[in-house]
Amino acid sequence: LQEEINYIENDKALDLVKEKVNKELLTAPVIIRQYTQHLAASSGKYIRAAALLICSQNEDGLIHPHAINFAAAIEIIHLATLVHDDVIDNASTRRGKPTLQKKYGKRTAVICGDYLLCTALKVVAEIPEKKEYLNLSVPDYMRRVCLGELNQHINNGFLDLSVYKYLKIISGKTAALFEASFHAGAILSEKDNKTISKYAKLGRYIGMIFQMTDDCIDFETTEDIAKKPVQSDFEQGVITLPLIHAFKNLPDLKKKAISNQLTREDINAAVANSGGLDYTRIISRKYYNKAMKIINELLITQDKRIKLISILDRACGLT
């Protein structure tokens, strides 16, 4: 017996995801909502949701209905990680507004982030269970985010962090959630496990690019443009790829760093002069090429291919 699926029109799907996220935020008990409801209007980019929807698109350009809840859950997980991330990074602004931790304190932020995480799991649990979904474990992806973040913390302030370890950290803290999005979307549109794995890998590569772009932004942009603190990674002991390159190539920089003599201006100049930003873009480009290779291998409509490339370009900060 063929089950009937009520596919959703492409141009309506992202709005439905936003509606679902906002509904969860705005119907939370008032003691939570008083702290979290501003997140509903906080103009997130919804790039993970958009990617998931594109991956779930069938040959007729229609979206599987379960994609809405998967995408809403992933965006809520993303919100939760930001709330906790801002505690860990001691950040005072996010999306141009005061962070939860700044406004209400770290304890409140940790608890609200936990509540959001539980909300995301509830939204996943609302999706009817199907055997096709068994290979996708949202909690496992969340655990990889935590492992990446913990690995970053363990290496806090470690100036000799290797490129390999950096890549491992970001593959957890950021790329895992992108991988989850692509994986979930693909499960809804593809039957073949090998193809589904290709989407997952594509998501991971795009997530790596996204974080490398973010790590450049920390040195290149102003708080006005980024709408969050900039020039703060080094201050917080977070050793990113542009910095790794600078420390490797400027031995004096390390000496100064160890004796605590570096200002923000020194660091910025060093990262630029050592070619740390260019180096990061070269590594990012390698992931771009790998991602593009997968996109070109997928047997999909031209429409879907163009949309996947647009997500890739967004991750590079090109659009």
- Among Mg ion, ligand 2DE, none, residue 24 binds (CB under 5-8 Å by kind): none
Give the largest Cα separation in the chain, rounded.
72
- Among ligand 2DE, Mg ion, none, residue 198 binds (CB under 5-8 Å by kind): none
Alpha carbon distance 32, 28 (integer Å): 6
The angle subtended at Cα 191 by Cα 185 and Cα 168, nearest 5°, is 50
Q: Which of 37, 42, 61, 214 binds ligand 2DE (CB under 6 A)?
A: 214
Q: How far is the CB of 130 from Mg ion (least distance, A)?
A: 35
User: Which residues in 58-77 contact ligand 2DE (CB under 6 A)?
Assistant: 77
Encoded tokens for 288: 């771009």
Encoded tokens for 177: 């959630």
Among the listed residues 17, 25, 131, 120, the one whose alpha carbon sits nearest the alpha carbon of residue 65: 17
Q: How far is the CB of 175 from Mg ion (least distance, A)?
A: 14
Nearer to ligand 2DE, 213 or 274 (CB): 213
Among the listed residues 36, 35, 228, 227, the one whose alpha carbon sits nearest the alpha carbon of residue 120: 36
In the chain, the amino acid numbered 138 is V
Residue 176 binds ligand 2DE (CB under 6 A): no
Nearer to Mg ion, 57 or 284 (CB): 284
90 close to 98: Cβ distance less than 8 angstroms: no
Encoded tokens for 317: 């900060």
Q: Which stretch binds ligand 2DE (CB under 6 A): 40-48, 79-87, 102-110, 258-266?
A: 79-87
The torsion of the CA quartet 223, 227, 228, 234, rounded to 10 degrees, works out to: -40
Nearer to ligand 2DE, 10 or 232 (CB): 232
Alpha carbon distance 201, 184 (integer Å): 12
Residues composing the chain: 319
Task: Show the site string, 142-161: x = touches ligand 2DE by CB under 6 A, - = not.
Answer: x--xx--x------------
Residue 174 binds ligand 2DE (CB under 6 A): yes
Task: Show the site string, 3-42: x = touches ligand 2DE by CB under 6 A, - = not.
Answer: ----------------------------------------
Count Cβ atoms below 10 Å from residue 231 Cβ, excluding itself: 18
Q: Which residue is nearest to Mg ion (CB)?
A: 89
Q: Which of 89, 179, 190, 220 binds ligand 2DE (CB under 6 A)?
A: 89
Alpha carbon distance 70, 15 (integer Å): 14
Residue 169 binds ligand 2DE (CB under 6 A): no
Q: Which stretch binds ligand 2DE (CB under 6 A): 26-34, 123-131, 138-146, 287-295?
A: 138-146
Bridging pattern class, strands 97-98 and 93-94: antiparallel
Residues that bind ligand 2DE (CB under 6 A): 77, 80-81, 84-85, 88-89, 91, 117, 142, 145-146, 149, 173-174, 214, 228
